[in-house]
């Protein structure tokens, strides 16, 4: 039996509203505990915390746009700058700020809040046919109150990206490819990750072809999958081209992204896929007092665990092929391009469709335990990143 839309909107809305109240209390606690050693000083406001860290960069993009001349240090190496941040979120927030008298911070937070609610509805739509009504409601509850749920009310682009992404996954699952021609550029210019979506479409095409005898694959669908995959790749690769054209430096975007990595490993001459994870693992193992040479072994074990979870876990298999293909593609994308820092937790939020497997077991104690555990990790994350955030490993 299908639940009426108004009931779904109300049910998800109540979950989301209650979750935002809880998160607000956690942020208020962080403001209360913030001291002189914190990046924010004593007694920061909710607005100050909500616009901290990368939210400042989106504000820069909204107000000043992108530099035509890349900032460089005394050594001539490119420094951190706005080209690392995509324009859709700050542009939408700035446009909405006109209604608020030019108050960009308030507009940015409202955009995140609305997008987060939309993302919860899209997640519900993605999972309902896969894991059932009750488990889906629990999955939405975990999503809205989980460890990174504060991002639904911060000046970050994550909530908006999740909205586009989950809507796109619903379209793929339901084989409605038309809207993807709009959703793909919206994803691609909100935050990095659309290349992973293109990879997912390749996997989806292979899976549909492999199963074509029991699930016929029509020619129009083949055309859509191939064209959309190439389209997604083109969108994903276009931002470095745009940055290069505007600045006159072909490597502008790559050098900008590497600026964040250089703070950890020093100057780099070039980007090598997977090297970020290898280098970071050695750095982190050294910081933890472990032999740095064991770092790559740790990475290999994490990869093996992800392969097992996405390929063989009966809980994860329940969330459906689309959710699993996306999560696998996104993890491959991160492995290829990312340098794991404390922000790795934030960057893992897009695998929420696979994480919904935590809602599959029907045991009430299990589900309550996951809920409490997620909320507990959320308050720890908020306190670490905002109440006491003052060093390189406390960056959300």
* Between 377 and 74, residue with greater pLDDT: 377
- Measured CA to CA, the distance from residue 117 to residue 13 in angstroms comes to 7
**pLDDT > 90: percent of the chain:** 76
394 part of a folded domain: no
Tokens of 24: 């607000």
Distance of CA 89 to the CA centre of its chain: 13
| Structural domain harbouring 307 | 5-387
339 part of a folded domain: yes
261 part of a folded domain: yes
- Measured CA to CA, the distance from residue 154 to residue 51 in angstroms comes to 6
Q: Is the dihedral of CA 52, 53, 58, 61 positive or negative?
A: positive
227 part of a folded domain: yes
393 part of a folded domain: no
- Measured CA to CA, the distance from residue 381 to residue 395 in angstroms comes to 10
Q: Which residues contact 369 (CB under 8 A, 6 or more apart)?
A: none
Residues 111-147: pLDDT tens digits?
Answer: 999 999 999 999 999 999 999 999 999 999 999 999 9
pLDDT of residue 165: 98
- Measured CA to CA, the distance from residue 327 to residue 193 in angstroms comes to 11
Residues 240-249: pLDDT tens digits?
Answer: 999 999 999 9
Mean pLDDT check: name the lowest of 36-40, 252-256, 274-278: 36-40
pLDDT of residue 73: 86
Instruction: Please return the burial class of 50, using the count of CB atoms within 10 Å of its CB with bins 0-12, 13-18 and 19+.
Output: buried
DSSP letters spanning 189-236: TTSS-HHHHHHHHHHHHHHHHHTTTTS---HHHHHHHHHHHHHHHHHH
392 part of a folded domain: no
> To 5 degrees, how large is the angle CA 72–CA 73–CA 77?
65
- Measured CA to CA, the distance from residue 12 to residue 363 in angstroms comes to 21
Helix intervals (H) in the chain: 5-33, 46-50, 54-64, 88-97, 104-131, 133-145, 158-174, 180-188, 194-210, 219-247, 252-265, 275-287, 295-312, 314-317, 321-337, 344-347, 352-355, 364-382
DSSP letters spanning 43-84: S--HHHHHT-THHHHHHHHHHH---SS--B-TTSPBPP-GGG
135 part of a folded domain: yes
- Measured CA to CA, the distance from residue 27 to residue 284 in angstroms comes to 28
395 part of a folded domain: no
Give the number of other Cβ atoms within 10 Å of residue 245's Cβ: 11
Tokens of 37: 């050693």
Mean pLDDT check: name the lowest of 5-14, 92-101, 259-268, 376-385: 259-268
- Measured CA to CA, the distance from residue 142 to residue 372 in angstroms comes to 9
Structural domains in the chain (count): 1
**pLDDT > 70: percent of the chain:** 98
pLDDT > 90? residue 374: yes
């Amino acid at each position: 039996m299908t639940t009426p839309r108004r009931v779904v909107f109300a049910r998800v809305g109540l979950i989301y509203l209650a979750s935002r109240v809880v998160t607000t209390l956690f942020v208020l606690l962080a403001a209360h505990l913030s001291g002189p050693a914190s990046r924010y000083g004593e007694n920061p406001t909710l607005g100050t915390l909500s616009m901290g860290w990368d939210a400042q960069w989106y504000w820069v993009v909204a107000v000043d746009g992108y530099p035509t001349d890349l900032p460089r240090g005394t050594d001539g190496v490119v420094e951190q700058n706005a080209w690392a941040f995509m324009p859709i979120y700050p542009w939408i927030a700035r446009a909405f700020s006109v209604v608020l008298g030019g108050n960009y911070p308030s507009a940015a937070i409202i955009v995140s809040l609305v997008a987060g609610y939309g993302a919860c509805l899209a997640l519900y739509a993605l999972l309902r046919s896969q894991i059932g009504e009750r488990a889906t409601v629990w999955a939405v509850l975990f999503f809205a109150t989980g460890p990174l749920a504060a991002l639904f009310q911060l000046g970050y682009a994550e909530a908006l990206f999740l909205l586009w992404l989950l809507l796109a996954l619903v379209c793929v699952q339901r084989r409605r490819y038309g809207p993807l021609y709009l959703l793909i550029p919206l994803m691609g210019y909100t935050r990095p990750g659309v290349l992973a979506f293109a990879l997912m479409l390749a996997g989806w095409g292979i899976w549909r072809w492999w199963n074509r005898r029991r699930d016929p694959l029509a020619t129009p669908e083949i055309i859509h999958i191939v064209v959309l995959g190439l389209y997604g790749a083109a969108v994903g690769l276009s931002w470095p081209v745009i940055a290069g054209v505007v600045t006159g430096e072909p490597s502008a975007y790559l050098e900008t992204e590497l600026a964040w990595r250089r703070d950890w490993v020093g100057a780099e001459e070039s980007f090598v896929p997977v090297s970020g994870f290898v280098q970071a693992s050695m750095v982190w193992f050294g910081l933890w007092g472990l032999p740095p040479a064991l770092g790559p072994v740790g990475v290999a074990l994490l990869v093996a665990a992800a392969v097992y979870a996405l390929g063989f876990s009966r809980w994860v298999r329940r969330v459906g092929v689309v959710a699993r293909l996306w999560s696998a593609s996104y993890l491959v994308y991160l492995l290829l391009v990312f340098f794991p820092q404390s922000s790795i937790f934030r960057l893992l939020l897009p695998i929420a469709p696979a994480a919904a497997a935590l809602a599959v077991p029907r045991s009430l104690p299990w589900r309550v335990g996951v809920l409490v555990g997620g909320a507990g990790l959320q308050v720890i994350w908020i306190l670490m990143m905002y109440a006491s955030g003052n060093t390189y490993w406390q960056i959300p």
